[in-house]
Amino acid sequence: MRKKLEQFIKLCVVATFFVPLVLVSSKFIFPFIVPKIIIFRSLTLLMLGAYVVLLVSDYTRYRPRVTLINIAVIAFFFSFLISTFAGADWYRSFWDNHERMLGLFTIFHYAVYYFIATSVIKEKNDWRWLLRFFLFAGSVVMLIGVLQKINPELLLNRGSSRVSATLGNPIYYSGYGLFLFYVGLILFWKESVKGWKYFAVVGGVLGFLGIFLGGTRGTLLGLIASVGVLMTSYFFTLKEHKKIRQTIGAVIVGGVIIFGVLFAFRQTNFVQRIPAIGRLFSVSFTSSTGATRVMAWKIATQAWKDKPVFGWGPNNFYYAFNKYYRSEFLERGWGETWFDNAHSAIFNTLAVQGIIGLLAYAALFVVSIFCLWRAWKEGRIDKHIFAIGSAFLVGHFVHNSTVFENPTSYLYFFFFLAFINSVSRCPNDADLRIKEKKEKTISPALTVTVSVAVLFLIYSTNINVARANMTSLRVLGAMQNGQMVAETYQKAVEAGSPHIDDIRSDFVRSLIMIIPQYVNAGFVDKAKKLYQIGYDESKKNLVLHPLDIRTHLQLAQLIQQGMMVLKNPPQSLAEAEAVLKDAFVKSPKRQQIIYQLSMLELLMDKSDEAISLLQTAIDDDAAIGESWWRLALVYYEAGEIDKAKETIKEAEKRDIIFTDAGKSVRDMVTTAVIKVNKAK
């Protein structure tokens, strides 16, 4: 029975390797994330059930050992736990949203996955087979990326030159490729059969190719740094091979020279046209993406100073970003004004988990490299495991310094930590005595009880989440077709998903666009009923997440749309004003709030307040064209045509480029000025 349970756990581990391939595009909201997390968590719970039975039956054999990596993983998890409940919004930290689903609840599953794998799988041959399966599953993902390069429209890639396969993001794809490249290297050196060596080479090459197909600069930097570590490690470990060391030394020096030359001539067409290399050297911290990321990192540092020990709470960077939002973000476009992550695992962890969390996160890498080094020095692993394992860890850390973790990266990272912990641990006398012990009988009652508990957990925490997500997608689709969705939406709500806040938000977002269409089509009663549902749901979200200004903006928009069906403008406008003023306090420089509130004040005949708000926006950043034309519009609507003209003239003097909306206001003001002059 014990052997069967062990085998079951190993099969579940293998099954997790194929989770990155899961993509159900027509059934889920965020199809690249939700089904992956649902399946991974379910597999982990199945593993946990089998492990609990093994642990109760023979605690000494299966208990986690005291190792440095185990301690580091525990420290990381408890840092995440403490920050969750010490932060600004424990609910979001615990569950996250269904776009990422990497809250404490899911991180717990990754930690469980790690401890089960490293406690149950102990034979080197088992680890070899697991690495083979991981490389195979990953190679399929890489091949899909190759097909996307041939057909850019394949699997929702939307014609992008950078591929993402079934992962949904080129960043995830490149990082995965880096891991597979090093798994291929490990297997190449550890395999003794030619067929398996060829397999390792093919898988490693596909991973290496994936780094470039994803086109992620951070991953390429990680590759360069990791290759440097790999070469340096071999240089110091191959002491008995003088010629090989000389060759490696020459390669290191040559690599540094080549890199320096490419950097020096980075502006030339030749360098710019080199795949991935050109993209790496073309990075600019003054470009839209580069500049806003640096600004986000600065905000992360400011946020850390506010809460230096445990941070704002995991997944709460968005709140810190709102507080310290800078007006110049809008200079790079509306898409660069919303950051729910600092776009750097390093800066993001510092902001949301504080210095304790960052140290715990860094310890996962530092301790693992130390354990590899110590195991090599003591002869428990060879130089290849030490060199390649250290290289990947450094590469992954550098990669993460400019991106963020995702479901797939956590999967291969915690799996690799489990592998390192297992192969680098020194067996003690107790371990040797365990191997000689007889197998204990496992209680059938225990097995049944644990099985029922596991199935209940899978149903309540995963199947219900999946049902709610799929039902919510059907609701959104039905709304677009003009169908009455109140009953279907209620089913989504009653499914019991902890992501009910996201379900409400998605529903209200669609409702804001749909209400005018319903009214224009004569379905006023239907619009009124849906409005009331949306209003109540928005209020619930506001209570659950009082710092979330997206909920404020949504509710204010919905209230204004509701004026069409409720026919109570004064009351609705006053309520929307109160909601937006609350949001303005939480993010005083965010233009979305200023623009929406100023137009609302204009509707309420409070033109002075509207002018003051827009003038504040211009004073904060005079380069934003929308602030100018909105101010001109308020002056125009208030009957102050001369001031509207002066505003447009001042904007043009500053070389402000207007959008179509701005040009329309400018033309309207010009026409009004002409009419006034004629009247005189």
pLDDT tens, residue by residue, 218-262: 999 999 999 999 999 999 888 777 788 888 888 888 878 887 877
- Judgement on whether residues 483 and 410 belong to the same structural domain of the protein: no
Residue 670 within a domain: yes
- Judgement on whether residues 527 and 598 belong to the same structural domain of the protein: no
Could you give the residue ranges of the DSSP H alpha helices within 545-568? 549-566
CATH number at 645 reads 1.25.40.10
CATH number at 544 reads 1.25.40
The pLDDT > 90 percentage for the chain reads: 70
Q: How many CB atoms lie within 10 A of CB 29?
A: 18
Torsion of CA 261, 267, 269, 271, to 10 degrees: 30
Residues present in the chain in total: 680
Token couple for 273: 């046209």
Residue 450 within a domain: no
pLDDT bin (cut points 50, 70, 90) of residue 155 is: confident
Distance CA(336)–CA(209), nearest Å, equals 30
Token couple for 417: 């930590």
Residue 452 within a domain: no
Token couple for 262: 């490419």
At residue 40, the pLDDT reads: 98
- Judgement on whether residues 615 and 578 belong to the same structural domain of the protein: no
- Judgement on whether residues 648 and 521 belong to the same structural domain of the protein: no
Distance CA(94)–CA(461), nearest Å, equals 13
Residue that terminates a domain, selected from 403, 436, 469: 436
Closest residue by Cα to residue 503 from 464, 549, 556: 464
**Contacts (Cβ under 8 Å, ≥6 apart) of 442:** 1, 2, 5, 53, 57
Is residue 209 a contact partner of residue 200, using CB atoms and an 8 Å limit? no
Residue 442 within a domain: no
Q: Is the pLDDT of residue 103 over 60?
A: yes
pLDDT bin (cut points 50, 70, 90) of residue 157 is: confident
Residue 83 half-sphere exposure, CB side, CA atoms within 13 Å? 35
Q: Is the pLDDT of residue 484 over 90?
A: no
At residue 283, the pLDDT reads: 60
Span 505-523, pLDDT tens digits: 999 999 998 888 888 888 8
Residue that terminates a domain, selected from 583, 601, 616: 583
Distance CA(385)–CA(11), nearest Å, equals 24
Q: Is the pLDDT of residue 356 over 60?
A: yes
Q: How many CB atoms lie within 10 A of CB 572?
A: 19
At residue 313, the pLDDT reads: 97
Is residue 211 a contact partner of residue 219, using CB atoms and an 8 Å limit? yes
Burial of residue 379 (CB within 10 Å: 0-12, 13-18, 19+) is: exposed
- Judgement on whether residues 554 and 640 belong to the same structural domain of the protein: no
Residue 453 within a domain: no
Is residue 493 a contact partner of residue 485, using CB atoms and an 8 Å limit? no
In which domain, by residue range, is 39 found?
2-436
Residue 226 within a domain: yes
How far is C-alpha 359 from the chain's CA centre?
21
- Judgement on whether residues 488 and 417 belong to the same structural domain of the protein: no
Residue that terminates a domain, selected from 436, 469, 494: 436
Closest residue by Cα to residue 406 from 173, 78, 640, 135: 173
At residue 265, the pLDDT reads: 73
Residue 406 within a domain: yes
Q: How many domains does the chain have?
A: 3
Q: Is the pLDDT of residue 428 over 90?
A: no
Give mean pLDDT, residues 123-140. Answer: 96
- Judgement on whether residues 398 and 491 belong to the same structural domain of the protein: no
Span 16-56, pLDDT tens digits: 999 999 998 888 999 999 999 999 999 999 999 999 999 99
- Judgement on whether residues 559 and 627 belong to the same structural domain of the protein: no
Q: Is the pLDDT of residue 153 over 90?
A: no
Span 530-579, pLDDT tens digits: 899 999 999 999 999 999 999 999 999 999 988 888 777 778 889 999 99
Give mean pLDDT, residues 344-360. Answer: 96
How far is C-alpha 200 from the chain's CA centre?
30
Q: Which of 163-172, 210-219, 318-327, 434-443 has the lowest mean pLDDT?
A: 434-443
pLDDT bin (cut points 50, 70, 90) of residue 293 is: confident
Q: Which of 179-193, 448-462, 519-533 has the lowest mean pLDDT?
A: 519-533
Token couple for 228: 């440097």
Distances in Å between the alpha carbon of 136 and those of 129, 470, 475?
A: 11, 30, 38
- Judgement on whether residues 424 and 526 belong to the same structural domain of the protein: no
Arithmetic mean of pLDDT over the chain: 90
pLDDT bin (cut points 50, 70, 90) of residue 315 is: very high
Give mean pLDDT, residues 192-218. Answer: 93
Distance CA(432)–CA(229), nearest Å, equals 35
Q: Is the pLDDT of residue 321 over 80?
A: yes
Q: Is the pLDDT of residue 435 over 60?
A: no
- Judgement on whether residues 579 and 617 belong to the same structural domain of the protein: no
Give mean pLDDT, residues 412-423. Answer: 97
Torsion of CA 295, 296, 298, 303, to 10 degrees: 150
154-187: b (≥16 Cβ within 10 Å) or e: bbebeeeebbbbbbbbbbbbbbbbbbbbbbbbbb
How far is C-alpha 405 from the chain's CA centre?
6
- Judgement on whether residues 609 and 578 belong to the same structural domain of the protein: no
Distance CA(405)–CA(361), nearest Å, equals 12
Residue 564 within a domain: yes
Distance CA(447)–CA(159), nearest Å, equals 51
Q: Is the pLDDT of residue 277 over 60?
A: yes
Is residue 32 a contact partner of residue 166, using CB atoms and an 8 Å limit? yes
Q: How many CB atoms lie within 10 A of CB 27?
A: 13
Token couple for 516: 């005018």
At residue 588, the pLDDT reads: 94
Distances in Å between the alpha carbon of 233 and those of 239, 467, 624?
A: 11, 50, 51
Q: Which of 19-28, 251-260, 378-387, 621-630 has the lowest mean pLDDT?
A: 251-260
Look up tokens 């209940």; give the residue: 456
**Contacts (Cβ under 8 Å, ≥6 apart) of 680:** none
- Judgement on whether residues 253 and 357 belong to the same structural domain of the protein: yes
